[in-house]
Structure 1
Amino acid sequence: MGLVRHKQPPLRRFVMYWVDHARQAMASLGELWRYPLASMMTLAVLGVSLALPSCFHVLLKNAEKVESGWQDSSQITLYLRKDLPEESIAALRKRIELYPEIDSVDYVSRDQALSEFREQSGFGEALDYLDGNPLPAVLIIVPDAQWRNPEAASELLGKLNAENGVEQGKLDLQWLGRLQGIIKLLRHTITGIAVLLLAAVLLIVGNTLRLNILNQRSEIEVLKLVGATDAFIHRPFLYTGIWFGVIGGMLAWWLTEVMVLWSEGVVSELAGLYDSQFQLVGLGLVDGVNLILLGALLGLIASWFSVHRHIRDIEPS
């Protein structure tokens, strides 16, 4: 009489599949502590390797924040003709305020400009010897948010220079263009360094798992002798690689936040010299979770290549 095999319900098979994965994942985590010193050294190297591109990312994010703040404060200064009457100036101001590209327009009269120059320059007594007021009236224009980049602001300046009564328009955004060039160079440099460091993470995890596989060669041979599938043999090593990446990512997140806290006082002091309220920002929750997920992905990739290459070469003798 033959044996009757009872097929388990699909739901039970599905649940047991994930229970088996969870059991092997926990077992792989426990395997890290069989050799605590070696595991801690590997995790420390992974943490530092992931923390370096993470710190560069924070540096770039804060540089872009500074650039955004300076770009938002860009303005156009229109120097008006000295012989332009107040009625014409008021009409010109009202006409410019209707531009869809402009957020606000402030007017500085000739007398107000002379008064401010007298207070700020320290040449008050020398100005008394002048026959008249040499300063023109000024319109200070803040472009709309979409027109504050150098190209759009330059186009707007050309349009404003064509207005009757405008003697000269000034837009000093050359420094902003240089800043954007520096940030672009910084972004490319950081990307290159990050790629090299992430490649180092792949090599570290792959080499560590190679050593683990060689240390467990006899166990793998026994498993193959009793008919264990390749997936069953590979799975613990894959989870070990994932754990290396996850814990390394958590350590990198912590190291990055420590660096931000360590630098925060110096940055605040520097910002105070420029009368700025700039605050250094760290990774944040989203970037921190992404860092951990990136570590897990790198660990999985490195372990997959290492496992498929080295376990395939192990055959029972």
Structure 2
Amino acid sequence: MPQFRPARKKKLGSYPHTMVVFSITLALLVIGLFGLLLVHAHKLSQAVRENLEVQVYLERNLPETQLLALQRSFAQKPYVAYRGSEPQVRFMSKEEGAQEFVQLTGEDFQQFLGDNPLRDAYILKINAEYADVSQLRQVSADLRRQPGVFEVTSVEESFISDVNRNLRRVSLVLLGFALLLTVVVVILINNTIRLALFSQRFLIRSMQLVGATSWFIQRPFLRRATWQGIVGGVLAGLMLLALLQWSYLEVTEIRLLRDERLIGAVLLTLVVLGGVIGFFSSYRAVRKYLRMSLDDLY
């Protein structure tokens, strides 16, 4: 006689989780990709701003002590950019300036003039916070007040205005897409968990009929959905790290835009977002089935 195996007893909150984790991972991966795009766009914007330079031309025949004093004074200015612990202040002698001019134009003006009319100068890279027209005007005025300074020049104001305007537009567009994408991801994860809980609706009602409290019924679903969201966030983060390493190998210039702190914040946000969305999506879905009448469950 054929032996009949008893049907497995369905455990509360034990709906299949592979599909749910996979869906959450893909949804968080998309938002993580956009988050990394925002991080690198922010670093690019900062790099563009910090590449703005101010040329400080000096009086002729300044003694070495005054040149060193000027360099120390420039390094202490709050508007001077730093790379690590090094202030971005570079001295360019008039001889170096003449060599650069010859390399750019291919003509040696010293042979024609019989003298080098250029001046020694300091090249200052400006902090990104001061990279706008009004701030640069204040920077130039402050530098002109320094003893031994002959003239201060910087990039044209129209160029700075165009750069700032374009960076603001790009930032607003990317931020708008990021917000829209976040809403879409929340909806996708919410619907995924609701569909997964749909198979548990009769078990939820059965537990309710035998006197189980709402919290007792909700607890295993909430715990499981939260862990599914966290696991999905971790998997999405690992995939993003692998993708980042591949992109750095393929395009080495992107490494210059790497920001470990912001990238870590994006990965942590994915884990937290996955857990939070999983918890509240499961909470709403279970409460919905707890409030449904028996006829509505079919």
State whether structure 2 residue 151 is matched by structure 1 residue 159: no
Q: How does 1:131-142 map to 2 (within 5 A)?
A: 131-133=113-115, 135-142=117-124
Instruction: Check conservation: 2:57, 2:120, Cα contact below 8 A.
Output: yes
Q: Which residue of 1 aligns with 2:272?
A: 293
Deviation at 1:185, TM superposition (A): 3.6
For the pair shown, the structure with the greater C-alpha radius of gyration is 1
Query: What is the alpha-carbon distance in structure 1 between the residues aligned to residue 270 and residue 198 of structure 2?
Result: 30
Match of 1:307 in 2: 286
Matched, 1:86 2:61: yes
AA paired with 2:212?
A: A
Contact 1:77 1:171 (8 Å CA) reproduced:
yes
Query: Root-mean-square deviation (CA), in Å?
Result: 3.8
Deviation (angstroms), 1:162: 5.0
The aligned residue for residue 26 of structure 2 is: 48
- Structure 2 residue matching 1:133: 3-state secondary structure: coil
Displacement of 1:123: 1.8
Query: How do 1:214-253 and structure 2 match up within 5 A?
Result: 214-253=198-237
Letter in 1 for 2:40: N
Structure 2 residue runs without a partner (length 5+): 1-10, 81-86
Q: CA deviation at 1:295?
A: 0.6
**Given residue 297 of structure 1, which amino acid in structure 2 is its aligned partner?**
V
After superposition, the C-alpha distances for 1:249-270 in whole angstroms (9 at most, x for unaligned) are 12321332233133223321x5
CA contact (8 A) 1:60 1:183 kept: no
Query: For residue 41 of structure 2, what is the aligned residue in structure 1?
Result: 63
Deviates more, 1:221-230 or 1:196-205: 196-205
Give, in whole Å, the separation in 2 of the partners of 1:106 and 1:207: 58
The equivalent of 1:171 in structure 2 is: 154
User: Aligned-pair distance for 1:50?
Assistant: 1.4
Stretches of 4+ aligned residues off by more than 6 angstroms: none
Q: Shift of residue 72 of structure 1?
A: 4.4
**SS in structure 2 at match of 1:86:** coil
Deviations 1:38-58 (A, max 9, x none): x42x43332222112211221
Matched residue, 1:3: none
Could you give the per-residue CA deviations for residues 74-127 of structure 1, whole angstroms, max 9, x where no partner exists? 4321345xxx54148975874675464265765544444324423453224x75
Q: Which amino acid aligns with 1:198?
A: T
Taking a change above 3 Å as real, the CA distance of residues 212 and 43 of structure 1, as seen in their structure-2 partners, is closer
Q: In structure 2, do the counterparts of structure 1 residues 61 and 181 end up closer, same or farther at CA, with 3 Å as the change threshold?
A: farther
Q: Structure 1 246/173 Cα, relative in aligned 2: closer, same or farther at 3 Å?
A: farther
Number of equivalenced pairs = 274
Return the TM-score normalized by structure 2.
Answer: 0.72
SS of residue matched to 1:169 = strand
Deviations 1:124-178 (A, max 9, x none): 4x752x1333642032143685975445443121223356775542122765665
1:123 aligns with 2:123: no
Alpha-carbon contact 2:35-2:178 (below 8 Å) kept? no
Matches within 5 A, 1:71-82: 71-80=49-58
Distance 2:250 2:156 in 1: 28
SS in 2 for 1:31: coil
Looking at structure 2, the residues matched to 48 and 182 of structure 1 have their Cα atoms a distance apart, in angstroms, of: 32
